[in-house]
């Protein structure tokens, strides 16, 4: 019997617009050092690269050095703050839940493959009300490897009950596209996420601008 098709999503910048909670947490951390707050416009493009990168940029914007011991402490402080404020102003992108339900109704397996810590990913998906739709959720600390290592994506597919030969990835960054390419899995890029360059420049199989376009785009790719 042929396995059910599987669609795997990135989380931040793909399923949910998380920057409006990430940046306030960054600012609460750096304000303790009397630094000027940063904006979502400044930090958004690098937010897909993780907390350390966002904090380093915040210090660069303030023209201040950030020694490693202080950076490590900032990361810890950020994680505590973000845990309690993970879904204050975060929202799903328009059409997200509708398209997830569409795939679900058409007997697709759904999963999330994110470089967010797994407990935070699960908490955010729960608070957004969509966690039950996913057959697998994996994060940065689920395995000894993570995106762009292809094993992260392949394991997420397998945990969902799917097969990599009948799977597709959806993401918003170069990391997501590299992960899919490394796994030999087709990839759809959303152009409304967090990226320093237009995501189309990283050569996904196709790019969408709204989730109303996703089901048709995936159907075309899977042919």
Residues with active-site annotation: 10
37, two tokens: 């707050």
| Token pair for 136 | 């697998």
């Amino acid at each position: 019997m042929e396995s059910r098709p599987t669609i795997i999503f990135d989380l931040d910048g793909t399923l949910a617009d998380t920057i409006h909670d990430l940046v306030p947490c960054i600012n609460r951390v750096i304000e303790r050092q009397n630094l000027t707050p940063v904006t979502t416009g400044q930090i958004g493009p690098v937010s897909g690269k993780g907390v350390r990168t966002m904090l380093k940029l915040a210090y660069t914007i303030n023209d201040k050095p950030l020694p490693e011991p202080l950076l490590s402490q900032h990361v810890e402080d950020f994680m505590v703050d973000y845990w309690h404020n993970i879904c204050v102003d975060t929202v799903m992108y328009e059409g997200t839940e509708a398209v997830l339900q569409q795939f679900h109704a058409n007997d697709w397996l759904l999963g999330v493959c994110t470089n967010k810590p797994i407990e935070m990913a699960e908490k955010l998906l729960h608070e957004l009300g969509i966690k039950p739709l996913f057959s697998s959720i994996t994060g940065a600390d689920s395995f000894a490897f993570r995106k762009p290592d292809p094993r992260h994506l392949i394991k997420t597919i397998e945990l969902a009950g799917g097969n990599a030969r009948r799977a597709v990835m959806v993401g918003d960054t170069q990391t997501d596209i590299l992960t899919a390419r490394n796994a030999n899995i087709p990839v759809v890029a959303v152009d409304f996420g967090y990226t320093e360059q237009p995501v189309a420049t990283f050569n996904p199989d196709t790019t969408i601008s709204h989730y109303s376009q996703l089901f048709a785009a995936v159907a075309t790719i899977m042919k």
